[in-house]
Amino acid sequence: MAQSTRTVIPKGFRSAELGWPELHRIPHPPHRLPVVGDVLGVNVRTPVQDSLRIGRRLGPVFRRKAFGKEIVFVGGADLAAELADESRFAKHVGLGVANLRPVAGDGLFTAYNHEPNWQLGHDVLAPGFSREAMAGYHPMMLAVTERLIDHWDREQTAGRAVDVPGDMTKLTLETIARTGFGHDFGSFERARPHPFVTAMVGTLTYAQRRNVVPEPLAPLLLRTATRRNAADLAYLNRTVDALVRARRTTSGEGDLLDRMLDTARPGTGERLAPENIRRQVITFLVAGHETTSGALSFALHYLSRHPDVAARARAEVDRVWGGTARPGYDQVAKLRYVRRVLDESLRLWPTAPAFAREARRDTVLGGVHPMREGAWALVLTAMLHRDPGVWGADAERFDPDRFDAQAVRSRAAHTFKPFGTGARACIGRQFALHEATLVLGLLLRRYELRAEPGYRLRVAERLTLMPEGLRLRLDRRVPAVEDVPVANPEVSSGPRCPVTGAGE
């Protein structure tokens, strides 16, 4: 164990040399250049995939430096399991997550561990993800999926391929907006994204760029982008404030917003402050859709490439759901094989591709690498999920059977971490899994999926991962069951105003 140095690491970005006294033991890529660092052969648009490639050469722990910022990456299962030990490590709010603070403040995802609003927000909102609450969201999830199916039917009839990431993003955004805030963006009925969506994507893209543009150059290189970002932020805040104001005069259906406004913390009676509610609404709209959309898109890609897997999954849906046009809440978790397809897709492409952990006290990682209190490392989830020591020599191969019950039981803990770890792990995990399993089940039942000839998987990075340019051709199946009803009049009546819900 290293001697406790009690060096205070300054706030803001903490470069690795401040917290890792024996950093020289950790390998970095060859050809490090003065000032700029490890930039040869890398692409600012694909930092995660570059890191995966570098990690393959350098091993379970390595470091990368760019413009004076040095980061330690961990991709080996043994070291990642240590970082998951909550008695020694906690979530680190740094890098990409810290860049989202101007948007999401002390909302659940971006709150510092010590901020009182994290525990308060967690206590108030966790019941919003209970089994009972989820069963209440289920009919809304079904209604939104029927809207997607309505759209896909039309594309299929017109002989057009469908835009998978685009449509999955519409679906997951509508689902979280509806279940969380009783709101309808009208995404499927619009030719162009709703301005709220454009502003949200704008702030995420800006946060991603702040990660890769060196601090001293940011005012110069990002001048226009910074101005646009300020306008995007103001628009997001205005829209959310109006939504909250409108809700104060009516009541919702027991959704997340109702909980934010009405629930007092048991025992203390504390409530979320208006500014914090604004942050939480934005947090849930952002955190609740991009990652699930990516997970669904990767799963659909793999299903289109593995007809044997698709046939097995489809047979399960037909068997379990039988003639039920609208599967009930309890019928979703019974799709065990569909769920394995989803897990295996999240293994290869965890759509939240990394999470950061910091030392609670001075400690030594792997018995070799001393870390000071506050020093941190980035767990590269996709690398952990491909560690051949855990997943075998064929770790890169898509195989849902890696998640059959016996295989899962025989694996060590902390080897599959798409939802992060510990107290700060994803609060929306069950929500995402329920939604994605339901959607895959409904789509498999209705369509055969055909990959476009010549498409090779390219992965786009914008804080989350997404298959780029993925389009699929659909064939309608001869319905084995009563047709899934579509065009639910309640949900397909055209775009609505974000605030009042009135038709536009």
User: Residues forming the annotated binding site for heme?
Assistant: 426
Which helix (H) or strand (E) segment holds residue 471: the answer is: strand 471-476
Pick between residue 28 and residue 340 the one whose CB is nearest to ligand HEM: 340
Pick between residue 284 and residue 391 the one whose CB is nearest to ligand HEM: 284
- In the chain, the amino acid numbered 124 is V
Count the Cβ atoms, other than its own, within 10 Å of residue 352: 21
Q: How far apart are CA 120 and CA 276, in angstroms?
A: 10
Task: List the structure tokens of 12.
Answer: 């803001």
Q: How far apart are CA 227 and CA 259, in angstroms?
A: 34
Pick between residue 23 and residue 354 the one whose CB is nearest to ligand HEM: 354
8 Å CB contact between 465 and 350: yes
Residues in binding contact with ligand HEM, number by CB under 6 A: 26
Query: Mind giving me the DSSP string for 440-469?
Result: HHHHHHHEEEEEPTT----EEEESEEEETT
Known active-site residue 497:
no
Which helix (H) or strand (E) segment holds residue 288: the answer is: none
Q: How far apart are CA 38 and CA 71, in angstroms?
A: 11
Q: Which residues pair with 363 in a beta bridge?
A: 371
Query: Using the rule CB under 6 A, is 437 a contact of ligand HEM?
Result: no
Residue 254, helix vs strand vs coil = coil
Pick between residue 85 and residue 153 the one whose CB is nearest to ligand HEM: 85
Pick between residue 253 and residue 394 the one whose CB is nearest to ligand HEM: 253
Q: Name all contacts of 404-407 with Cβ < 8 Å and 24+ positions apart.
A: 404/340
- In the chain, the amino acid numbered 77 is A
Q: Which of 61, 287, 320, 348 binds ligand HEM (CB under 6 A)?
A: 287
Query: Using the rule CB under 6 A, is 355 a contact of ligand HEM?
Result: yes
Residue 161, helix vs strand vs coil = coil
Pick between residue 213 and residue 282 the one whose CB is nearest to ligand HEM: 282
CB of 169 to ligand HEM, least distance (A): 12
Pick between residue 37 and residue 400 the one whose CB is nearest to ligand HEM: 400
Catalytic residue selected from 172, 203, 291, 437: 291
Query: Using the rule CB under 6 A, is 427 a contact of ligand HEM?
Result: yes
Catalytic residue selected from 188, 398, 426, 437: 426
Which helix (H) or strand (E) segment holds residue 32: the answer is: none
Query: Using the rule CB under 6 A, is 97 a contact of ligand HEM?
Result: yes
Within 272-322, residue ranges assigned H as helices are: 274-287, 290-305, 307-321
Query: Using the rule CB under 6 A, is 108 a contact of ligand HEM?
Result: yes
Q: Which of 72, 84, 176, 459 binds ligand HEM (CB under 6 A)?
A: 176
Q: How far apart are CA 346 and CA 401, in angstroms?
A: 14
Catalytic residue selected from 355, 403, 419, 431: 419
Binding-site string for ligand HEM from residue 134 to residue 173, where x marks contact by CB under 6 A and - marks none: ----------------------------------------
Known active-site residue 249:
no
8 Å CB contact between 255 and 180: yes
Q: Which of 292, 297, 415, 437 binds ligand HEM (CB under 6 A)?
A: 292
Query: Using the rule CB under 6 A, is 98 a contact of ligand HEM?
Result: no
Q: Which of 62, 188, 284, 321 binds ligand HEM (CB under 6 A)?
A: 284
CB of 96 to ligand HEM, least distance (A): 9
Q: Which of 117, 291, 415, 437 binds ligand HEM (CB under 6 A)?
A: 291
Query: Using the rule CB under 6 A, is 459 a contact of ligand HEM?
Result: no
- In the chain, the amino acid numbered 290 is E
Q: Which of 21, 186, 288, 498 binds ligand HEM (CB under 6 A)?
A: 288
Known active-site residue 426:
yes
CA nearest to 350, candidates 421, 285, 408, 401? 421
Which helix (H) or strand (E) segment holds residue 143: the answer is: helix 131-157
Q: Identify which range of 82-90, 247-255, 287-295, 438-446 contacts ligand HEM by CB under 6 A.
A: 287-295
Binding-site annotation, residues: 426
8 Å CB contact between 451 and 305: yes
Q: At what angle do helices 274-287 and 195-212 cross, to 10 degrees?
A: 80
Query: Using the rule CB under 6 A, is 340 a contact of ligand HEM?
Result: no
Q: Which residues contact ligand HEM by CB under 6 A?
A: 91, 97, 108-109, 122, 176, 283-284, 287-288, 291-292, 295, 351-352, 355, 418-420, 424-428, 431-432
Provide the annotated active-site residues. 291, 419, 426
